[in-house]
Structure 1
Amino acid sequence: MPHPDPSQAPVCVVQLTDAHLFADPAGTLLGLRTRDSLRHVIAQVRREQPCVDLLLCTGDLSQDGSAASYQAFRDLTGDFAVPARWLPGNHDEARVMAEVAPELVQAVTDIGAWRIIMLNSAVQGATHGLLEPSQLSLLDDALLSAGGRHCLVCCHHQPVDIGCAWIAPIGLRNADELLRRLEGYPQVKALLWGHIHQEWDELRGGLRLLATPSTCIQFAARSEDFKVSEEQPGYRWLRLHADGRLETGVQRATDFEVKLDFDSPGY
């Protein structure tokens, strides 16, 4: 049933992250075909989310940075027929991504009572993340001009310790600077990212810190060394309410059978 006041209706958002697609449709990570797992996640979204207003794709959409892999991601997600926003991760080629889908790499999107801010934390040729001064300025400008809108900020790399020793060095190197900035803007309700291939949900002051499983392989939580789990791929849904409340959860592709080949080339 439609909301009685459309301006007060929640914004329904889906986050897809870390698809790691290849130019080769049969491309695999640890034996898992990443296009197949993405298809199953998308099918799960379509079964469970009858209303999607915006699709957020938070990096490592590609494993090989090829135009063909980005076109495949665009084609596979195109059935949603809703606005989408992409940002690059450490495996992505931002230039190629922008060539394939220039209208999808917009940094600032206003929708309903919310402003969505997409930040590029990727460092060319590196696995760790860093927000360059230009990105921090973009963030400041977007927050200062947000007016009465609530804000959701997105990037690729994790800004907090998630208890995985091996992944800590490849997080966001200037995370403290980002978090200090966000503390000064009470209209920022959440910071959303990918990269860690697992779920994270933490409340720090008034700021919700959220990460989401990959649409392909999953990293084991609380692992000292690199370790994958056989959990199913998934996505995150968010309901962004006009009064600033945020509801969210993670769902997994329940019909996708995870079969990993640990003798194949690693992640």
Structure 2
Amino acid sequence: MPPTGITEADHVVVIQLTDSHLFADPAARLLGLDTHASLQAVIDDVLANQSRIDRVLATGDITQDGSESGYRRFIAAVERLPAPCHWIPGNHDDAVLMETLGRPTGLWQDWIDVGSWRIVMLDSSVAGSVAGHFGEQQFARLDAALSSAGDRHVMVCLHHHPVSIGSDWMEPLGLRNGQRLLARLDGADQVKVVLWGHIHQQLDERRGNLRLLATPSTCVQFAEHSTDFATDTLAPGYRWLKLFNDGRIETGVIRLAAGSFLPEEGASGY
């Protein structure tokens, strides 16, 4: 039941899954971790603890190897959830293949209108690059989404972090023209939140009236504020968001039980 004073008509519920890093080979592991099993365990938690879901957002690095089999394994996993899923690519993904698979099914959309909100899905991936960048096509998509949003509140989704996260090794691996994106959003009052993945850790900051959110991976976690690549012992997780009709946001991160799905100690080569 919703809390007193809140009805289902007041808001929509969004679940973010990110950085699942699936493989074509079911036996493959990422830093010793079974990414398919951890994704399924996260989905089990969503099903057990989220009584209502209106949309599922998958914010990149769906696969580790860009394989069609990996994407189909992801699709089969999220079909367990009772809401439509929409995805965007990350640096490990094949964006062309994701669009080919996703356009006919609704997985790939430029934006989604749900309740009083518009969710804009931007592609920050660059073929052959770990870092992200928005080309003119993505800025045009953003401009089109904002100019046609009407009275809707807006959430912008991408894979790469557009701000510094205080981690030296990840500093050059974010959105290379993040400041241009943020400058564009500074002038768009209807944009309330920017949501991303990529950093395999939790973040919740503000830039003026703009909420900046990042979410743990459904598999391996990265240590915060690290100079060099380092994993963490925190468990995989996901983010829930309540997007209210008046533009307010409630959100939180839920993780699996402590000690679940740890990478091999000292594993590297990500």
Q: Give structure 2 stretches of 5+ with no counterpart.
A: none
CA positional deviation for 1:265: 5.6
Q: For residue 65 of structure 2, what is the aligned residue in structure 1?
A: 64
| CA contact 2:53–2:82 (8 Å) conserved in 1 | no
1:45 paired to 2:46 = yes
Q: For residue 202 of structure 1, what is the aligned residue in structure 2?
A: 205
Q: For residue 257 of structure 1, what is the aligned residue in structure 2?
A: 260
| CA contact 1:7–1:112 (8 Å) conserved in 2 | no
Q: For residue 129 of structure 1, what is the aligned residue in structure 2?
A: 132
Give the whole-Å Cα distance in 2 for the aligned partners of 1:198 and 1:179. Answer: 21
**Residue among 228, 231, 243 paired with 1:228:** 231
Give the whole-Å Cα distance in 2 for the aligned partners of 1:44 and 1:34. Answer: 15
- Cα deviations across residues 197-233 of structure 1 (Å, max 9, x unaligned)? 0000001100000000000000000101111001100
- Cα deviations across residues 41-74 of structure 1 (Å, max 9, x unaligned)? 1111111111000000000000000000000000
Q: For residue 143 of structure 1, what is the aligned residue in structure 2?
A: 146
Give the whole-Å Cα distance in 2 for the aligned partners of 1:107 and 1:6. Answer: 29
| CA contact 1:56–1:86 (8 Å) conserved in 2 | yes
Q: For residue 76 of structure 2, what is the aligned residue in structure 1?
A: 75
**Residue among 191, 196, 200 paired with 1:193:** 196
Q: Give structure 1 stretches of 5+ with no counterpart.
A: none
Read off the aligned partner of 1:195 and give its amino acid letter: H
| CA contact 1:212–1:250 (8 Å) conserved in 2 | yes
Identity across the alignment (%): 51
Q: For residue 176 of structure 1, what is the aligned residue in structure 2?
A: 179
Read off the aligned partner of 2:162 and give its amino acid letter: P
Q: For residue 98 of structure 1, what is the aligned residue in structure 2?
A: 99
| CA contact 2:43–2:81 (8 Å) conserved in 1 | no
Read off the aligned partner of 1:108 and give its amino acid letter: W
Give the whole-Å Cα distance in 2 for the aligned partners of 1:165 and 1:119. Answer: 25
- Cα deviations across residues 156-188 of structure 1 (Å, max 9, x unaligned)? 000011100000101000001000000111110
Query: Structure 1 length as normaliser, TM-score?
Result: 0.96
**Residue among 152, 158, 166 paired with 2:161:** 158
| CA contact 2:233–2:259 (8 Å) conserved in 1 | no
Read off the aligned partner of 1:203 and give its amino acid letter: R
Read off the aligned partner of 2:110 and give its amino acid letter: A
CA positional deviation for 1:81: 2.9
Give the whole-Å Cα distance in 1 for the aligned partners of 2:42 and 2:7. Answer: 29
Give the whole-Å Cα distance in 2 for the aligned partners of 1:256 and 1:57. Answer: 24
Read off the aligned partner of 1:25 and give its amino acid letter: P
Give the whole-Å Cα distance in 1 for the aligned partners of 2:253 and 2:2. Answer: 25
CA positional deviation for 1:8: 3.6
Read off the aligned partner of 2:178 and give its amino acid letter: A
- Cα deviations across residues 70-129 of structure 1 (Å, max 9, x unaligned)? 000000110113111100000000112123332211011000000000000000110000
Query: Structure 2 length as normaliser, TM-score?
Result: 0.95
